[in-house]
Amino acid sequence: MNYRFACLMAAGLALAASPHAEISASPQSHSVPVGDVDIIVDGARQPRYAHEGRWYVEARKRREYAIRLHNPYPVRVAVALSVDGLNTIDARETTAAEARKWVLGPYETVTISGWQTSQLEARRFEFTTEARSYGQALGKTANLGVISAVFFKERVPAIMQETSTDERGRQRAAPPSSAPQEQGAASAEAKRADAEFAATGMGRRTGHAVTQVWLNLEDTPAQTVNIRYEFRPQLVRLGILPPVPTADPLQRRERARGFEPGFSPEPPPQP
């Protein structure tokens, strides 16, 4: 840990025994937390797919999303959370140990909805293209398309150490991936989508008040979760999702007919 950097981040606060400066967010309660890291779009958890040793989710273009973190441990944790390789608190590129972190109480769940731009505001995460991403705006594009959360437990006296079994391995089993199928004729719009890759942009402003606290953290992470996200065409190319059948416009036109028997229908009644 870079002690000098951490102390600078804590300027003006009472200095505790630990050199770790973290951020505490207002929690959101969920009666049944699902997983330790979930991607949320329109309030719904997005399916997570396992493929060749990695987790994937589908990026929904131009849609805002949030990252829900759950602490499965009976002690506080600090979570280093990055999107596209950029810390969600200060957009710095550092190691997880040196990063500023989000603090969660025992068994607590919080939702991080965007890039923290001040002590009171954030800018919403938004699925977009590489060219329109926040990383592109900062000139930091080496790690586009990945969300990473690294959990560090708070160091506690031996008499308070947890006795329950570590739940790091309780991630959901993902549905089996489907083998890629032969794709039919695609429209020009679909072909353009095939060449686009997902990244995260800075969306609208939203209120998100935080405070800075100190924690004495264990040196070794309790768990690390990495999630790759891509638009559907790229997930199809990787063999993670089956292709959506596309109708051939020429075949539709070949089925066109002229006159049909009968009379002109009455228009529907006006409301």
Q: In this structure, is residue 271 part of a structural domain?
A: no
Neighbour count for residue 170 (Cβ, 10 Å)? 10
Rounded average pLDDT over 149-162: 78
Tokens of 24: 């505490």
Is residue 268 one of the residues assigned to a domain? no
Question: Residue 143, Cβ neighbours under 10 Å: how many?
Answer: 15
* Average pLDDT score over residue span 170-184: 43
Q: Give 225's pLDDT tier (boundaries 50, 70, 90).
A: very high
- The pLDDT of 226-243, averaged and rounded, is 93
Q: What is the DSSP letter of 128?
A: E
Burial of 266 (0-12, 13-18, 19+ CB in 10 A): exposed
Higher pLDDT, 208 or 254: 254
Q: Cα–chain-centroid distance for residue 226? A: 9
State the pLDDT confidence band at 175, using cuts at 50, 70 and 90. very low
Residue 166: pLDDT band by 50, 70, 90 thresholds? very low
In a domain, 263, yes or no: no
210-234 mean pLDDT: 90
* Mean per-residue pLDDT, 178-198: 51
For residues 30 and 129, what is the distance between their CA atoms, to the nearest angstrom?
A: 31
Confidence of residue 192 (pLDDT cuts 50, 70, 90): low
Structural domain count, the chain? 1
Q: What pLDDT digit, counting tens, does each position of 8-52 carry?
A: 222 222 222 233 445 555 444 333 333 599 999 999 999 999 999
pLDDT, mean over the chain: 77
Of 158-167, 174-183, 192-201, 217-226, the range with the lowest mean pLDDT is: 174-183
**122 occurs within a structural domain:** yes
Domain membership of residue 80 (yes or no) is yes
Task: Tell me which residue has tokens 């690294």.
Answer: 150
Alpha-carbon span 130 to 144, nearest angstrom: 7
What percent of the chain is modeled with pLDDT above 90?
A: 51
The per-residue pLDDT for range 81-135, each reduced to its tens digit, is: 999 999 999 999 999 999 999 999 999 999 999 999 888 888 999 999 999 999 9
Asked whether residue 260 is assigned to any structural domain, the reply reads: no
Model confidence at 208, pLDDT cuts 50, 70, 90, reads confident
pLDDT value, residue 179: 39
- Percent pLDDT > 70 in the chain is 70
User: Domain range holding 104?
Assistant: 3-254
Q: Is residue 270 part of a domain?
A: no
Mean pLDDT, rounded, for 166-186: 43
Given this model, what pLDDT does residue 35 score? 58
In a domain, 112, yes or no: yes
